[in-house]
Amino acid sequence: MKLLDCTLRDGGYYTNWDFDDTVVDSYIQAMNALPIDYLELGYRNMPSKEYLGKFGYTPVSVLKKIRQQCTKKLDVMLNEKSTRPEHLPELLGPIVGLVDMIRIAIDPKNFDRALVLAQAVKRMGFEVGFNTMYMSKWHDYKGFLDKLTQLDGVADLFCMVDSFGGVTPKDIKDIYAIVKSKTTCPIGFHGHNNLQMGLINTLTAIECGIDYADATILGMGRGAGNLNMELLLTCLAKGGLEVDFNVLGEVVETFKTLYEEHRWGTNLPYMISGAYSIPQKEVMDWVGNRTYSFNSIVRALDNRRNKVADNARYPVLKMLQRQNRF
């Protein structure tokens, strides 16, 4: 099994993909000394008006510097929703030889389109990873799981992404068995920590036989965050993996300042998001406008999940005639 650390890519959601050079240098040095196989550095995006830090674009100059420093395999991510095959000469042409794998963030509803993009990436000589989102809702995408037979010969990694942080160990076992029956492609797992199930879900996936496991330093990642790499390494060290805990402690200290500033991690809205498999932003918006109580939100989500119309009923106020007229 291979370990993939995606701290800079997933953690970038909290920093707009800006990381101080000293943090990055310390991170790379630590990764060199730890039993990590791949580092996911950031995204490759077409230019836009939206501000993104350097790891939102991961420019050639940054990749060259890291490639010289780093002894591990490197990867960057593409967003399928905003990337087409005609963009690849500009996005990936300049980084041939600098990174080993391109991972593609994929909505299951766009799997057919993603397959075309992945084939184009593969022809450029990269390893190709499918980061397929919304794992807890895959059964809602009609025919999606049957399409996984098309991965063979194209993908070097099919990563099951628990985007909402809501799957359980039983879900892991059930879904892994289905995926394994459909493809010979290596399988990975990327967990989120909304329900604080990142560790047990990842350990369950490892028991099932996954080939890749994702984690981040201090769990730094979008929304409720990810499985802590230091926690995963500690558990694996108990089973015999050789880990330099001095180095691990140093890199954890490096990211503590960022944690104190941004305070990622789960909370009640994120827990509700995970339990009901809905985007975190929707729950946060409902909570933030102070119009709805938590109980109202949960009832509304229950109705949505069960496809029931809103069942709240309120009395109609009627205008009372004024008996006293002026």
Instruction: List per-residue pLDDT tens for the chain, 326 residues long.
Output: 999 999 999 999 999 999 999 999 999 999 999 999 999 999 999 998 889 999 999 999 999 999 999 999 999 999 999 999 999 999 999 999 999 999 999 999 999 999 999 999 999 999 999 999 999 999 999 999 999 999 999 999 999 999 999 999 999 999 999 999 999 999 999 999 999 999 999 999 999 999 999 999 999 999 999 999 999 999 999 999 999 999 999 999 999 999 999 999 998 888 988 988 877 777 666 666 666 677 777 777 667 666 677 655 556 655 554 555 54
**Bridge partners, residue 188, by sequence:** 159, 212
Output the pTM of the full model. Answer: 0.89
Tokens of 103: 């991972």
CB 8 within 8 A of CB 55: yes
Question: Quick check: helix, strand or coil at residue 314?
Answer: coil
Q: How far is CA 17 from CA 80, 132, 192, 285, 312, in A?
A: 19, 22, 19, 23, 43
Nearest C-alpha neighbor of 159 from the set 317, 3, 316, 322? 3
Tokens of 25: 């240098």
Sole residue written with tokens 């794992």: 135
List b or e across 102-137, with b for residues whose CB sees 16 or more CB atoms inside 10 angstroms. bbbbbbbeebebbbebbebbbeeebbbbbbbbbbbe
